[in-house]
Chain A
């Protein structure tokens, strides 16, 4: 047997900050097929991938005005996949020339007892939903076309109801901080999807 890895240094700081670059748009149900068709042509050649996820959003209220938000997502159709915990920071302000919404992002894969653990930490669930749709990739870009379903009975994913008559389209990239050409590539790709769907930078704060 070869020697195993040597002592592991605990991670303290100085890790790379990852940023999520995001463009969003939507299409009505009846336009879905043509959008999928075009995406299949433009994106990397792979088996069409569908997903069915259940996402729960947890809040931790402290003395600060804004609570700390964490998103816990689990796959309902892939047994054995780890749960996905995601932290998204505030969108970066300034730079009007930047074509995409940029925010700090930390992604963590966890074991299944995530919700129990978060409750123990003091988080409380704010809302939950089910997302069902298609996933495409082009290089480092990820394109998701999905429908959001509202959960009628809290805790049970059996009874759901569609939130709208449309599909949400998201083009996102997770890359280390400072790589601004990523948003240029995203805009160029978004141009190719017009006029089927208009992907743009949507500031969440303007919606509140």
Chain B
């Protein structure tokens, strides 16, 4: 069950990873989560009389054979990688906003039942923020382990620990799934996209 949050600066990634290694986490390779944005082309809007919607197509290296497509506040579709081929065919109806492709890449750590991924969020050539994802493997229901997760987060994030993600909302007791992780990443990427670029000099 993951939690993702954005922080301040790039060098903080090293501070975080060093803290995790001191705690005893084992490095286990790398990860990547990326997101492309599509919007409905002007030609399809006329007949429907509604404002253009944004569709996000995301990939997560944790699920290499899948492709996630979601609308903000809408359904999240989990499909296989041929969905990307379909998006190419739908070029006339959905236009890709190339400039807003955003991704996070970094290292994957395993600490007992926790899986921690610390990544640098980049948009094009520039680094825009940091993402931290923590997954507690054994549990699939959010409300059952939120306090445990919070305690673990506090041990290495200190004052930057976030509150409960909006994704849980009124669904605390339902089974958590990969689609919920992707919704959180989408919200994180949107937040980072809206932020001004952070100056490099800020270190805590």
Contact = CB atoms under 8 A, between A and B. Distances in A.
Interface of A: 1, 3-8, 10-13, 15, 60-64, 68, 85, 87, 89, 106-111, 113-114, 116-117, 120-122
B89 A87 contact: yes
B61 A108 contact: no
Interface of B: 28-32, 34, 36, 40-41, 43-44, 46-48, 53, 55, 59-62, 64, 67, 69, 71, 74-86, 88-90, 92-94, 103, 105, 108, 110, 179
A68 B94 CA distance: 12
A136 B79 CA distance: 26
A15 B85 contact: yes
Given A61-B47, A64-B92, A120-B71, A7 B32 contact: yes
A118 B92 CA distance: 16
Contacts of B75: 113, 116-117, 120
Given A11-B81, A108-B82, A121-B55, A1 B89 contact: no
B89 A10 contact: no
Given A63-B43, A113-B75, A120-B74, A8 B48 contact: no
- A-B complex: 6 closest residue pairs judged by Cβ atoms: A63-B43, A7-B32, A8-B61, A111-B78, A117-B77, A11-B84
B49 to A, nearest CB: 11
Contacts of B46: 63
A113 B179 CA distance: 12
Contacts of B90: 60, 68
B105 A109 contact: no
A89 B85 CA distance: 13
Nearest to A63: B43
Given A106-B89, A120-B53, 13 more contacts: A4-B108, A7-B61, A8-B64, A11-B81, A11-B84, A12-B84, A15-B82, A63-B43, A63-B46, A110-B78, A110-B79, A111-B179, A121-B94
A96 B47 CA distance: 39
